Amino acid sequence: MRALRGTVSVPGDKSISHRAIIIGALARGETEIINFLPGDDCLSTARAARALGVEVHVDGDRAVVIGRGMDALREPEDVLDAGNSGTTMRLMAGVLAGSPFFSVLTGDKSLRRRPMGRVIEPLCTMGAQITGRCGNAYAPLAIKGGGLRGKEYVSPVASAQVKSAVLLAGLFAEGWTAVVEPAQSRDHTERMLRYFGARVEVDGRRIAVLGRPELRGKKITVPGDISSAVFFIVAGVTVPDADITINNVGINPTRTGALEVLQRMGADITYVNTREVNGEPVADIRVRSSELTGTEIGGDIIPRLIDELPVLAVAAAHARGTTVVRDARELRYKETDRIAAVVDMLCKMGARVEERADGFVVHGGQRLQGTTCDSRGDHRMVMAAAVAGLTAKGETIIEGTDCIKVSYPGFFRTLYYLCVQ
Ligand code: S3P
């Protein structure tokens, strides 16, 4: 195995790219998005905004949204298709709940199996009429929006998508709308709404937005996606003699849980040149090969590393001792059931892993064996398998890699570059 060396950058943050399109569509004037992620998920959001009458131009990693204000959205002529993207469906449901017309939101087979009751319920309490399949549990969703009242919603799940759906709907309501979350989830919506001119008040776990703001189009530079960078970070930690720098990565503290856990496990990770861009903290991240020890991952940190758990499991397989992941039942509701997917992949590679209802246990320290891995149509499982394959004995074959274009179309090119430096 060659050492991994070099300096790379990763594409723009997926969560921030979605929000820049959506909030830009609600604002008046031009929003220019630099380092936009042109992955399938964000393109689904761009298409949905267009179907609502908003001008959206995407040219590689630059996007321009010409908004005419929240009241200028118009009834879509056809069903809106969110593809594989939970963020598109749930955030758009918030916007459509506020808009005084009829719309239907659907998605691919995986998205149509993911829970939507969690957004239908609060949006209906605000006054929208939303119905979904299987007793309002799943998409397609039929939405008749408008006439919303500001509410306080105490959310049972620490989900940024639920929080954002309610806050976006709150923009259309009279008065204040608040969400109280059980643990801090990513706060990009709050930060970006403020940046566009909305009044947002945060008090502990309670986030409130004042309705009917005058949002103004802005220029946004999107930081690199820490959820993409983490694959190279774990590769850098686990491959012997590696030294990698990833430039321009978003290090919003609501997203850095995985790096904190890796550091606790003994990983040599340093932030260089820390700065702030459009209200979001950014740094270059240097990572070098390290000896890891197992750890416990659970509680309030889970929402801050939820997308990184598949690749953290790969790091855990390299660690001396046992790593326990708990309180992570949400992983079962992602693009695939990621608890089952991670356990299946690592067991096939010869690791000792046990499945739990809300997580898994990895007994680390054994060398992985190359095998054939099935992505289950999940982009993050493809990249986690690729990182595991770097140190595995023999060949690792990953089937179903096409879904990688959801978040990181150029992943293998960058990984190859690091291998040949
Ligand atoms: C996201 C929130 C998280 C995350 C997803 C992106 C977002 O989902 O897993 O990849 O952009 O708001 P939940 O809100 O379901 O936790």
**Residue 225 is among the residues annotated as catalytic for this protein:** no
Q: Do 188 and 167 contact (CB within 8 A), yes or no?
A: no
Which residues in the chain come in under a pLDDT of 50? none
DSSP string across 298-337:
-GGGGGGTGGGHHHHHHHHHHSBSEEEE-S-GGGGGSSS-
| CB of 160 closer than 6 angstroms to any ligand 1 atom | yes
SS (H, E, C) 118-183: HHHHHHHHCCCEEEEHHHHCEEEEEEECCCCECCEEECCCCCHHHHHHHHHHHCCCECEEEEECCC
Distance, CA 342 to ligand 1 centroid (Å)? 18
| Residue 394 dihedral angles phi and psi, to the nearest 5° | 85, -170
| CB of 331 closer than 6 angstroms to any ligand 1 atom | no
Atom of ligand 1 minimally distant from the CA of 333: 15
How confident is the model at residue 1, as a pLDDT? 60
| Residue 108 dihedral angles phi and psi, to the nearest 5° | -75, 180
How confident is the model at residue 421, as a pLDDT? 81
| CB of 161 closer than 6 angstroms to any ligand 1 atom | yes
Q: Which of 81, 225, 307, 378 is catalytic?
A: 307
How far is the C-alpha of 85 from the C-alpha of 111, rounded, in Å?
Answer: 7
| Residue 293 dihedral angles phi and psi, to the nearest 5° | -125, 150
Domains parsed from the chain with CATH numbers: 14-209+216-221 (3.65.10.10), 223-420 (3.65.10.10)
Atom of ligand 1 minimally distant from the CA of 163: 14
Distance, CA 334 to ligand 1 centroid (Å)? 9
How far is the C-alpha of 65 from the C-alpha of 35, rounded, in Å?
Answer: 14
> And the tokens for 261?
């856990």
Please identify which residue in the block is written with the tokens 């608040």.
Answer: 178
Residue nearest ligand 1's atom 13 by CA: 159
The single-letter DSSP state of residue 367 is P
| CB of 306 closer than 6 angstroms to any ligand 1 atom | yes
| CB of 233 closer than 6 angstroms to any ligand 1 atom | no
User: Residue 135: left if φ>0, alpha if ψ -120 to 50, beta else—which one?
Assistant: left
Residue nearest ligand 1's atom 4 by CA: 307
How far is the C-alpha of 304 from the C-alpha of 185, rounded, in Å?
Answer: 6
Distance, CA 392 to ligand 1 centroid (Å)? 30
DSSP string across 183-217:
S----HHHHHHHHTT--EEEETTEEEEESS---B-
Number of Cβ atoms within 10 Å of the Cβ of 14: 24
| CB of 17 closer than 6 angstroms to any ligand 1 atom | no
Please identify which residue in the block is written with the tokens 């293998």.
Answer: 412
Q: Do 63 and 34 contact (CB within 8 A), yes or no?
A: no
Distance, CA 111 to ligand 1 centroid (Å)? 13
Q: Do 421 and 241 contact (CB within 8 A), yes or no?
A: no
The single-letter DSSP state of residue 382 is H
How far is the C-alpha of 355 from the C-alpha of 261, rounded, in Å?
Answer: 20
How confident is the model at residue 3, as a pLDDT? 86
Residue nearest ligand 1's atom 15 by CA: 159
Residue nearest ligand 1's atom 16 by CA: 159
Atom of ligand 1 minimally distant from the CA of 306: 9
> And the tokens for 379?
């982009």
Q: Do 61 and 221 contact (CB within 8 A), yes or no?
A: no
Distance, CA 420 to ligand 1 centroid (Å)? 34
Which one-letter amino acid corresponds to residue 111?
Answer: L
Q: How far is CA 111 from the centre of its chain?
A: 14
Among 22, 161, 305, 337, the mutation site with the greatest number of ligand 1 atoms within 8 A of its Cβ is 161
Q: What is the C-alpha end-to-end distance of the chain, expressed in Å?
A: 13
How confident is the model at residue 377, as a pLDDT? 97
Distance, CA 238 to ligand 1 centroid (Å)? 27
| CB of 87 closer than 6 angstroms to any ligand 1 atom | yes
How far is the C-alpha of 102 from the C-alpha of 142, rounded, in Å?
Answer: 7
Please identify which residue in the block is written with the tokens 């898994």.
Answer: 360
